[in-house]
Chains A and B, each alone.
Chain A
């Protein structure tokens, strides 16, 4: 049954994006908001809006029972979780399913399976997707040495129970591993109450490449890859489609591997498989799957012309994929930069001001996904992402030129933004060449490249 009344359990620019996509499909939109978000753009654009709790996320956007109650009270038949917040919570997806509503995403079981590091890795291996050589599941300190010898140094040691970057150590030889493994175990015990370890070969200075997939529960297709190697504190700041470092043969096998895994788990909705790419060896390794729409989805939309958000709503409403793989073609190159309410010259200090003036970047091949309006007080309670400037051109060089023009023509008064960072990056010769990796941006910032270009960056 197709979705008729969609409840959007998110905020910011992605809520705006979902409301707009739903409207093009003729779906009635119901926007959730916290007490601090009554003035946000998605509330104004949606057909109706409902308050789900106080400003803190844990009391509103992360409050499963409040969201379910609001969805039922407004007669929603489906819930879109956006990204972040509850989008990858199996408990939330399960609650939505059990309430008889449609969760716009994969099943709770798929979210759970792909959210578990070990289970996701096993699913990838079973589907023939290359993974970083590592231990088979959890190991103890003595096993770590044997496994490391087999997979080769340097190795990365992680807590088996951990998430994110917490407790990760790198040992370049056996002597270092002998020192670091017991430390990692002690820290894992303290942090997670579980001293189990996990080790894998450390791919130093990899590039971050990911593949966009779409599935309808039976069939799956890919919409090619993105490169998101420019990161600060593990947050992506600049994303591209496609990845210029890949040759056609590698791109083909990368994207084919992603589809194989999506089909193997009967994936429904939009999803992304993230890989590390070792440029010197021309090898890629699956690291994790994100079972939701991503911040950087617009670059894929720009090069393929596929409306990922509309398609995910349709397939989750029960439709079959509206396209076959050979209908998905890519043209040109797209770049997205994330505009955050931060002062890049003051160590990215958050800066939630009042938007005093707003002049959007515009032009052919320029897109601006955001949730701003003049007079809008940016709430301090949530993350700092204000929007994304996305450009599309025939070549990567032309796309960077267009990005510079777009950023220079844009005006967001009354708040600081990270636009100067993007202008400085666009002017950097290494960025122009595409010669970077995930460990590139932080040393570049520490070396003072941003402040040095302050005067002429704009």
Chain B
């Protein structure tokens, strides 16, 4: 199992926009470089990409929550 951490402090989002579905759902395959979320930092949106491959287990924090740098955002199996 591996964890995907936030590269920066900010607000973490599961979805590309409020109307769209989350980037990943439990059971989805995740390849290296796949985007799993967004961190909004100082009004700029930074993509969070997976550095490992695996199967998406779930988000570790709620959508649109403040996170610190290094916080675990999601887990893979």
Q: Which residues of A contact B8 (CB under 8 A)?
A: 350, 352, 380
Among B10, B40, B66, chain A packs the most CB atoms within 10 A around the CB of: B66
Whether B9 is near chain A, meaning CB under 8 Å from some CB there, is yes
Q: How far is the CA of A342 from the CA of B43 in the complex (A)?
A: 12
CB distance from A371 to the nearest CB of B (A): 14
A111 to B41, CA, bound (A): 30
Q: Which of A36, A55, A383 contacts B42 (CB 8 A)?
A: A383
Bound complex: CA A383 to CA B40 (Å): 11
User: Using an 8 Å CB-CB cutoff, how does the interface string of A351-380 with B read, 1 for contact, 0 for none?
Assistant: 010000000000000000000000000001
Check if A40 is an interface residue, CB within 8 A of chain B: no
Which residues B39-65 have CB closer than 8 A to chain A? 40-44, 46, 64
Contact A352 to B42, CB < 8 A, known contacts A56-B11, A380-B8, A381-B11: yes
- The answer to whether B41 and A352 have CB atoms under 8 Å apart is yes
* Interchain CB contact under 8 A, A384 and B11: no
Q: Is A341 part of the contact surface with B, judged by Cβ < 8 Å?
A: yes
CB pair A341–B42 under 8 Å, yes or no, is yes
Mind listing 10 A-B residue pairs with CB under 8 Å? Answer: A55-B66, A56-B11, A349-B44, A350-B46, A352-B8, A380-B66, A381-B42, A382-B42, A382-B43, A383-B43
Least Cβ–Cβ distance between B15 and chain A, in angstroms: 16
Nearest residue in A to B67 (C-beta to C-beta)?
A380
Nearest 10 interchain pairs by C-beta: A350-B42, A384-B42, A380-B10, A380-B9, A380-B41, A350-B41, A350-B44, A55-B66, A383-B43, A380-B42
In the bound assembly, the distance between CA atoms of A349 and B7 in angstroms comes to 12
Q: Provide the A329-359 mask, 1 if CB < 8 A to any CB of B, else 0.
A: 0000000000001100000011010000000
The answer to whether A384 and B43 touch across the interface, beta carbons within 8 angstroms, is yes
B40 — which chain A residues lie within 8 A by C-beta? 380
Q: What's the tally of chain A residues with a CB closer than 8 Å to chain B? A: 13
Range for the number of chain B residues in contact with chain A: 10 to 19
Give the residue name and chain of the B residue nearest to A340 (CB).
Answer: B42
Cβ–Cβ < 8 Å partners of B44 in chain A: 349-350
Q: Which residue of A lies closest to B39 (CB)?
A: A380
CB-CB contacts of B2-44 with A at 8 A, as 1s and 0s?
Answer: 0000001111000000000000000000000000000011111
Residues of B within 8 Å of A56, CB to CB, are 11, 64
Q: How far is the CA of A384 from the CA of B9 in the complex (A)?
A: 13
Q: Give the docked Cα–Cα distance between A342 and B41 (Å).
A: 11
- Tell me the smallest distance from the CB of B69 to a CB of chain A, in Å: 9
In the assembled complex, the Cα of A96 lies from the Cα of B64 at a distance in Å of 30
Q: Smallest CB-CB separation from A385: which chain B residue?
A: B42
Q: Once the chains are docked, how many angstroms separate the CA of A341 from the CA of B42?
A: 9
Name the residue among B40, B41, B42, B44 with the largest chain A CB count within 10 angstroms. Answer: B42
Which residues on the A side are within 8 Å of B42 (C-beta)? 341-342, 350, 352, 380-384
Assembled-state Cα–Cα distance A380/B46 (Å): 12
| Neighbouring A residues of B10 by C-beta, 8 Å | 352, 380-381
Once the chains are docked, how many angstroms separate the CA of A289 from the CA of B61?
43
B66: which of A36, A341, A342, A349 is its contact (CB, 8 Å)? Answer: A36
Shortest Cβ distance from B45 into chain A, in angstroms?
10
**In the complex, A350→B11 CA distance in Å?**
13
Write the chain B residue with the least CB distance to A341: B42
* In the complex, residue of chain B having the shortest beta-carbon distance to the beta carbon of A350: B42
Beyond A36-B66, A380-B9, A380-B11: 8 further Cβ-contacts under 8 Å? A55-B66, A56-B11, A349-B44, A349-B46, A350-B8, A350-B41, A350-B44, A352-B41
Complex formed: what's the CA distance from A37 to B43 in Å?
16
Q: Contacts of A350 on B, CB cut-off 8 Å?
A: 8, 41-44, 46
In the complex, what distance in Å separates the CA atom of A342 from the CA atom of B9? 14
Instruction: Fill in one digit per residue for A46-75: 1 if any B CB lies within 8 Å of its CB, else 0.
Output: 000000000110000000000000000000
Tell me the complex Cα distance, A384–B40, Å.
12
Task: Kindly state the separation between the CA atoms of A383 and B41 in the bound complex, as whole angstroms.
Answer: 8
B43 (CB) vs chain A CBs: closest residue: A383
